[in-house]
Amino acid sequence: MDLILHHYDASPFSEKVRIVFGMTGQAWSSVITPNMMPKPDLTPLTGGYRRAPVLQAGADVYCDSMAILDELQRRTPLAGDRGLAGLRGIGLWADRLFFQATVPVIFGEMGHLTPKAFIADREKLSGRPFDVEAMAQAAGPMRIQWRGHASWLDYALGDAPFLAGDRPGLADASAWMNIWWLKGALPDTYDRLTVGLDRLEAWRRRMADIGHGVRKEITGAEALAIAKSVRPADPPAHDPNDALGLSPGDAVVVMADDYGRDPIAGTLVAARHSRLILAQETPDLGRLHLHFPRVGYVALSGQS
Ligand SMILES: N[C@@H](CCC(=O)N[C@@H](CS)C(=O)NCC(=O)O)C(=O)O
């Protein structure tokens, strides 16, 4: 079954997944989604989840890069995913703390170029003002924080080519998205903030050479037709020790705990320590299995 990534080129969280395709050298199909709502070829697949990226394997849909990386690692394990570099918490540091420093550094400098519709969309997504002026003011102190995060990477690399040693893994991919985003958006600022971080720079070049595997463009309509034409794969077993006491068949609502908290309702297929799988019976696409991470998401018993 072809893997289909719903993403857009400028999306840092999507870049994290694209570079994992590069690490495994695999072929994948690309569907470009808009960078703001509406996303008519995406939300029918995801039960309303709107963030990028989303991975589709037939009628199985993986929402959030954490669930996507987990699934890619299950399919094609990477050698560089062990020891401390196998700790998914590194991904959460990169997604939240490091990312929260990258956003004001970038928008503090470029915010005045941001289209009004994009600002309005992001205000709706976060439930907070997208205040370009405030970001410009915060950019100074946040640059110092950004350099601090980057220096952690430089230190962690030591003399090794990648975080786990000789081979790249998911921790490299997670950290990479912030480096890739700032270097691409504001190369001069990036160069200033990484002066002297030579191991980081050598790693950045190595990472940039990894590429994205073998990418083929398809349309959103083609991806929807694929979802419609197949049934979901057999799911993994449910964990009977699930901490919420959920059971297969329960009506469940899942939502992110940070931003983009649209509630996604469905019927529980399986709850595991790292993943929650919901089924939705949709009139247009038939049965879909939606996969969400546990960390970073809240699941509640609800009405499907
Ligand atoms: N925790 C999510 C965060 C994803 C995220 O924030 N993606 C950004 C794009 S890089 C997004 O969806 N922004 C709103 C949009 O593109 O509609 C993940 O790891 O996938």
Taken as a whole, the chain contains a residue count of: 304
Q: Are 70 and 55 in contact (CB under 8 A)?
A: no
Cβ–ligand 1 distance for 288 under 6 Å, the answer no
pLDDT at 303 over 90: no
Q: What is the Cα–Cα distance from 177 to 62, expressed in whole angstroms? A: 19
User: Can you spell out the DSSP letters for 111-134?
Assistant: GGGS-HHHHHHHHHHHSS---HHH
Q: Extract the tokens encoding 19.
A: 């570079």
Domain count across the chain: 1
What CATH number is given to the structural domain containing 119? 1.20.1050.10
Determine, yes or no, domain membership for 203: yes
Mean pLDDT, the chain, whole residue set:
96
Q: What's the pLDDT score for residue 1?
A: 67
- Rounded to the nearest angstrom, the distance between the alpha carbon of 47 and the centre of ligand 1 is 16
Q: Report whether pLDDT(92) > 80.
A: yes
Distance of alpha carbon 10 from alpha carbon 77, whole angstroms: 27
pLDDT (0 to 100) of residue 302: 78
Give the 3-state secondary structure of 272-291.
Answer: CCCEEEEEEEECCCEEEEEE
The finding on whether 92 has its CB within 6 A of some atom of ligand 1 is: no
Asked whether 36 lines ligand 1 (CB < 6 A), one says yes
pLDDT score recorded for residue 34:
98
Q: How far is the CA of 240 from the centre of ligand 1 (A)?
A: 31
Residue 79 scores a pLDDT above 80: yes
Q: Give the percent of the chain with pLDDT over 90.
A: 94
In a domain, 107, yes or no: yes
In a domain, 48, yes or no: no
Is the minimum distance from the CB of 18 to ligand 1 under 6 angstroms? no
Q: Which residues pair with 60 in a beta bridge?
A: 57, 289
Residue 266 lies in a domain: no
In this structure, what token pair is assigned to residue 190? 């990036």
Residue 295 lies in a domain: no
> Residue 212's pLDDT is what?
98
Q: Cβ(98)–Cβ(149) under 8 Å?
A: yes
The confidence score (pLDDT) of residue 209 equals: 98
Looking at the domain assignment, is residue 159 inside a domain? yes
Residue closest via CA to ligand 1's atom 6 equals 51
Q: In ligand 1, which atom is closest to the CA atom of 37?
A: 17
Q: In ligand 1, which atom is closest to the CA atom of 51?
A: 12
137, part of any domain:
yes
Q: Could you tell me the distance, in angstroms and rounded to a whole number, from the CA of residue 3 to the centre of ligand 1? A: 19
Which structural domain range is residue 145 located in? Answer: 83-210
Instruction: Evaluate whether residue 192 is within a structural domain.
Output: yes
- With bands split at pLDDT 50, 70 and 90, how would you rate the model's confidence at 304? very low
Give the model's pLDDT for residue 224. Answer: 98
